[in-house]
Structures are given as C-alpha cells and as structure tokens.
Amino acid sequence: MTLATDKSPATQLAENGKTARNSGMIYCGAHYSLCPVEVRELWAKGFALNDGPTTLKQIVERQAGHATTEMVVITTCNRFDLCLFGHLQNIQLERIFIEFAEWTLAQFPNLQSALDTNRNWRHELRAWLRSMSDEHALQHLFRVGCSLDSLVLGEPHILGQLKNSFQNALTNGFCSQEATTVFNRTFQVAKRVRSETDLGKNAISIGHAAVEIIRRVFDNLNKQKCLILGAGEMARITTQHLRACGAENLTIANRTLSRSQKLAEQIEHSQALLLETALTRLHEFDIIIAATSAQGFIVHKKHLETLLKRRSGVPIVIVDISVPRNVDPELGKLKNLFLFDVDDLDKVMESSRQARRKAAQEAEEIISAEVSEFLSQRRQRENLINVGRFHSLVRNVVEAEIKKSLSKSQSLDESQITITANAVAKKLVAQTAQLARADVRIDSEQDTIGQALGLLFNLSQSENEES
C-alpha cells in the first residue's frame, strides 16, 4: 500500500500487519550470461554433496532469521538459482551465496585455484547475481519454465530439470504450500506455451548446440571418431544429434559399462567403453564431448599433452557441456586442440535465438496473461480471507459488548441498547480513526478491498488476539 506519511504508530502498525499476512516470493541466482562458469560450478559442487542441500537451507534460515522460508534450488548447466518464499534483503541474499561458496571451498580446498582469475569474486558477486521479488520473481520463474531464459531458446529439457528441483525440495522438506502453488502453476504455463506456440517445435538442446559448434571445425562428421563421456540424458541427446549429422563412429564411455552398453544399443554405429579405459585412449578420437555428472575434472592436461604428439597435427575438438566442468580448462592451451564449455555455446547460438523470436514473443504474452490471472486469483483469496476476518471481528466485538451489558442487567432497555451500540461502533472504528489522524493514504489503483479492510480494521492483529 502507498502510505503517504512518516513512520507514525498507525502507519507502522499497518505495514507490520501487511508483512505478517503475505509471504514474499524471491528469485535470485547466478546466470550464465553474468556469472563465470568456474564460480557457478562452485555452488553446484557444494549442493551436490550429501549435506549440501541441508547446509544451504540452514544458511538461508540463518540469514532470514527464522525457519519458515521455503526454498527450491534450481541447478542446471546454465544456472544456480534460489527460489525462496519469505522475506530477505539483497544483502542477505548475497551473504547466502558467499557463505555457501565458502563452505564449499572448505570441502574442496583445491577449488580455490579455479577462482584465481576471479580473486575479487566476493566483491563482484553483486554484479553476477540477479534478484527479483514478488510479481517479477513469479514472471521470471514462468520464463525459466518455458525455456525463455535458457542458453538455447526453447530447449525442451529445462522443464524436466525444474520439476526435479521442485520434487527434491519437497522430498527434503524445504518447501510446502506457497512453493507448491507457484510451481504447479509454472508447469501449467509451460505446457500451455508448448501447445500454443512454435517455441517447442524443432527444439534445440544443449547437445544440439554442442554439435553445431563442432561442425564449425569439422564439416563432415562421418570421417571423425567421436567419444561421448557419460551415459545420461544429455549424453543420449548429444549422441543422437551427432548421429543425425552423419557421425558413423561413436563411442560411449561411462564409469559403469552396462550403462554405456545400454545407450550404445539405442544408437546406430555406437560402441561402449569403460570410462577408465577411454581416458587412456583420448588421442584416438577427433571429437570428445564431456557430459557426465562428475563433480570435478576427469580429463586433465596430462591425459593429452603427450598423447597429442601421436596425432601428427590432426586437431581434436572437446566440448564440455557439464557443470561442474569435466575438462580442465588448461587443455585449451595445447596446440591443435579446440576446447569449448557451456559459456562458449552462448556465443554460437544467437542465430538460433533470432529464429525463435516470434514464438518467444507469443510465449511472453501468454506468460504476462498468466501472471496477471494468478495474481488476481491470489488477491481474490486474500480478499475473502480478510472479509472472513472482518466478519469474525464484528461478531466478537458485538458479542463481547452484549455480554458486558447483560452482566449489569438481565434485560436491555433502549438506553442500554444505545450504549452497547455506541461501544461496538467505537471499537470498530478505533483503528480507522487512528489512521485518519495520521493522514494515511491508500493507493486505490493498487490495493484491493481485502487489503483496505485489513488496513482499516487491523485484521491481522485481531486474528492474532483471537488465536
């Protein structure tokens, strides 16, 4: 509400009442377009530890000053985001990210060297984080779910990642009613965008983007030997794109040979290999794509520095689509080796974004309408809650005053009825009179009747007294 006055007791009371009734939504995170990958992966590695989620939740609660903040962590190859339901200032959000990063560094001291190029990361963190609240946070979450904020516009896998993030939060007991309402609506909006626009048609994934960047070095993939490190969903998608672009010599390597074999059976011209063995034969391949869930480097400079001499100047292309990264960036210093990571993919996929602008604009319009409808429905619920509170207030005041009058006399004559009615009226208008004396103004264009009732009759305080 817009309150045109200084912090008088009445104004402070009104603001406190409003804060107590509403749970704010906050979306804050480290996005690929702002935050370096070596910093993003620091949080991702910490969160992947067994006690990482619980530690992060404890840090959030400590900064918020209470244990009622709901939390959903959205971690993908492009982002490490927190979706919170509570009340935190920007400085508290920054402290959360800093404290969790420092905790992760304590678990992985060797990661400090990865931050050498960002020695002032604690001071630069503010520029790397994006923070939104309330309506803007809701709209951003809808955009994330619809893949409008992804490295590859329209890529289809973010929705599944979002669902997994929400389910993990539920399983860990980190979220409840507020997050459930918002995330369920997010999934509905994403489904609507997919069905009503072309954004999801011929969708391009990170795996597709990886193949596109490889084709800038090798035009004809049927002559190259390809190695895919990993056998998960992203590895499967990338392998399918390689095959569709003509690759006819594919090797899939994983720590568990049976998983490699299972994926190889689904892809023509593919064979399986144990990851440990593949790492000793890296020099045999022209194209290497790293897509594992490992929490550190599995391909080091020492693996290829000597072996490259056997290739007689034939180049190798390595694309690391994992976060945390699987490939030591030091490999990029070797001759005849082209190394790309997820941040590099952003630079080569702008043309894909341009082709999807029209569908994206249609999706944005759907999202704006859905945000307005969601907020309207929420205001309606809040209005009805305040109407119910007002009804309880009137009933309680009338009942109390009648009982007081009847305690003095078994029957009420006209004068006693008048006295009782005046007492009821005086109590009902007491809050409104106090606000009037303080010259409090209500923004009629922004506030609902429910909010006006809550302010005029101090309904949150009345509810607390009743409870």
Catalytic residue ranges: 77
CA distances from 418 to 400, 412, 413 (A): 15, 10, 9
CA atoms within 13 A on the CB side of 396: 14
Partners of 273 in the β-ladder:
253
CA distances from 6 to 12, 13, 122, 310, 345 (A): 9, 12, 36, 77, 52
Question: Angle at CA 287, nearest 5°, toward 282 and 208?
Answer: 140
Residue written as tokens 């008048």? 418
The token pair that represents 161 in the structure block = 């990642």
DSSP-derived secondary structure for 352-387: HHHHTHHHHHHHHHHHHHHHHHHHHHHHHHHHHHHH
Question: Would you tell me how many other CB atoms lie within 10 Å of the CB of residue 249?
Answer: 18
Nearest Cα neighbor of 282 from 311, 262, 259 is 311
Strand order of the sheet with strand 25-31?
A: 70-75, 79-85, 25-31, 129-133
Question: What radius of gyration, in Å, describes the C-alpha atoms of the chain?
Answer: 29
Q: How far apart are the first and last CA of the chain?
A: 26
DSSP letter at 32?
T
Which residues in 182-303 belong to E strands, given as ranges?
226-229, 250-254, 270-274, 287-290
Report H helices in 49-157.
Answer: 52-64, 90-107, 121-128, 134-145
CA distances from 94 to 53, 66, 68, 89 (A): 17, 17, 19, 9
Q: Is 22 exposed, middle or buried (0-12, 13-18, 19+ CB in 10 A)?
A: middle
Q: What values do phi and psi take at 298, rounded to 5?
A: -115, -15
Report H helices in 228-269.
Answer: 233-244, 257-266
Residue 350: which H helix or E strand, with range? helix 350-355
From the centroid of its chain, how far is CA 169? 12
